[in-house]
Amino acid sequence: MKKLLITLFLISIANTQVFSQVKKNKTMIKKVIKTEQEWKQTLTEQEYYVLRQKGTDRPSQGGLTSHFEKGTYHCAACNLQLFKSNSKFESHCGWPSFDDAIEGTVNFVRDTSHGMIRTEIICAACNSHLGHIFDDGPKETTGKRYCVNTTSIKFVKGEK
């Protein structure tokens, strides 16, 4: 009985640690809160439409879709680092595609608009719309495709 109690005690400590780690990760991202009026003043018309009104860029191989330099992709609204260039792949879908995001920087929201059930991806800091996530990404890595609007991200040249 004593052994069982000790085991239970240890399990509960382990659980608390996992929980506090998750919590820590979440609080590491500093929230960026602005009024819609403030966003309107800082973003271009297209940026405001995509990032704040959940718009979508027209599919194209231009913009950042076929862009494969080394660096990081930041949120165009609040500058949070979201994706590394080594996660980017050519999906031929017409939008920049990544198989993973930097941990904790992207949140997932169920989206039932336009008669479809999809998962929207938003910036964890400022809640701006980035795009959607699909399960048809590269099987050899995560199997996920983070389908992101060029307008939602800014490229910063770097080593990774």
Q: How far apart are CA 135 and CA 92, in angstroms?
A: 15
In what side-by-side order are the strands of the sheet with 129-134? 88-89, 97-98, 145-148, 129-134, 118-123, 106-111
| Interaction between residue 148 and Zn ion (CB under 5 A) | no
Provide the 3-class DSSP secondary structure of residue 140. coil
147 catalytic per annotation? yes
Alpha carbon 158 to chain centroid, angstroms:
19
Residue from 78, 101, 106, 147 touching Zn ion (CB under 5 A): that is 78
Match 């920087």 to its residue by tokens. Answer: 105
H runs (alpha helix) in the chain: 2-28, 36-42, 45-47
Size of the site for Zn ion (CB under 5 A): 8
Residue from 43, 125, 147, 148 touching Zn ion (CB under 5 A): that is 125
Residue from 50, 77, 133, 148 touching Zn ion (CB under 5 A): that is 77
Q: Which one, of 118, 128, 35, lies nearest residue 79 by Cα?
A: 128
| Interaction between residue 75 and Zn ion (CB under 5 A) | yes
| Interaction between residue 101 and Zn ion (CB under 5 A) | no
Q: How far is the CB of 160 from Zn ion (least distance, A)?
A: 19
Whether 34 contacts 126, CB under 8 Å:
yes
Residue from 123, 130, 147, 148 touching Zn ion (CB under 5 A): that is 123
Stretch that binds Zn ion, among 7-15, 89-97, 111-119, 128-136 (CB under 5 A): 128-136
Q: Which is nearer to Zn ion, 33 or 117 (CB)?
A: 33
Binding site for Zn ion (CB under 5 A): 75, 77-78, 80, 123, 125-126, 128
Catalytic positions, written as ranges: 147
